[in-house]
Amino acid sequence: MEFRQIIYFLEISEAGTFQRAASRLGLTQPALSRQIFLLEKELGVSVLERGGRSVRLTQEGEKFYQYSIRMKELWEEMQNVLSKENELKGNFSISAGGTVSAWVLPQILKEILKSKKGLSLSVREGDATETKNAVLKGEVDLGILTGPISEPSLNVLEFLSDRIFPCAAKDHPIFTKKKIKIEDLKKQSFVMFHPGSALRRAVEKKIKSFSKEFSSNVAMELRSVESVIKSLEAGLGIGFLSEYSISSKLKKVKFENWNAERKFYLCYRKKSGPALTMLAEEILKSVEKWKLEKLNSSYS
Question: In the prediction, which pLDDT does 266 show?
Answer: 95
For 1-82, CATH number out of 1.20.120.1200, 3.40.50.10860, 3.30.43.10, 1.10.10.10 equals 1.10.10.10
Question: In the prediction, which pLDDT does 299 show?
Answer: 46
d(CA 69, CA 7): 9
Smallest Cα–Cα separation from 270: which of 158, 144, 156, 130? 156
Task: Please list the residues that pair with 192 across neighbouring strands.
Answer: 221
Where do the CATH 3.40.190.290 domains begin and end in the chain? 161-263
pTM of the model as a whole: 0.63
d(CA 231, CA 192): 10
Question: In the prediction, which pLDDT does 283 show?
Answer: 94
Check: CATH 3.30.465.10 for 161-263?
no
Query: What single string gives the DSSP state of each residue in 157-208?
Result: EEEEEEEEEEEEETT-GGGGSSSB-HHHHTTSEEEEE-TT-HHHHHHHHHHH
Question: In the prediction, which pLDDT does 271 show?
Answer: 79
Question: In the prediction, which pLDDT does 123 show?
Answer: 93
Between the two ends of the chain, the Cα-to-Cα distance in Å is: 61
d(CA 21, CA 13): 9
φ/ψ of 275, rounded to 5, equals: -65, -40
- The per-residue pLDDT string of the chain (300 residues; one tens digit each, 9 = 90 and over) reads 788 889 988 988 888 888 888 888 888 888 888 989 998 999 999 999 887 778 889 999 899 999 999 998 888 777 767 665 556 788 899 999 888 988 889 989 998 998 888 889 999 988 888 899 999 988 999 999 987 888 889 999 999 888 899 999 999 999 998 888 877 887 889 999 988 788 888 888 887 777 665 566 888 999 888 999 999 999 999 999 988 889 999 999 987 778 788 889 999 998 787 888 889 999 999 998 888 777 666 544
Question: In the prediction, which pLDDT does 83 show?
Answer: 60
Smallest Cα–Cα separation from 293: which of 108, 99, 102? 108
Question: In the prediction, which pLDDT does 117 show?
Answer: 82
Smallest Cα–Cα separation from 14: which of 64, 66, 56? 56
Cβ neighbours for 237, distance < 8 A, ≥ 6 positions apart: 168, 188, 189, 190, 191, 219, 220, 231
Smallest Cα–Cα separation from 190: which of 246, 235, 128? 235
Q: How many C-beta neighbours within 10 Å does residue 7 have?
A: 16
Question: In the prediction, which pLDDT does 192 show?
Answer: 92
d(CA 281, CA 177): 47
Judge contact between 40 and 105, C-beta under 8 A.
no
Alpha-carbon distances of 113 from 88, 120, 170, rounded to whole Å: 10, 7, 38
Query: What single string gives the DSSP state of each residue in 256-283?
Result: TT--EEEEEEEEEETTS-HHHHHHHHHH
Question: In the prediction, which pLDDT does 262 show?
Answer: 86
φ/ψ of 125, rounded to 5, equals: -85, 135
Where do the CATH 1.10.10.10 domains begin and end in the chain? 1-82
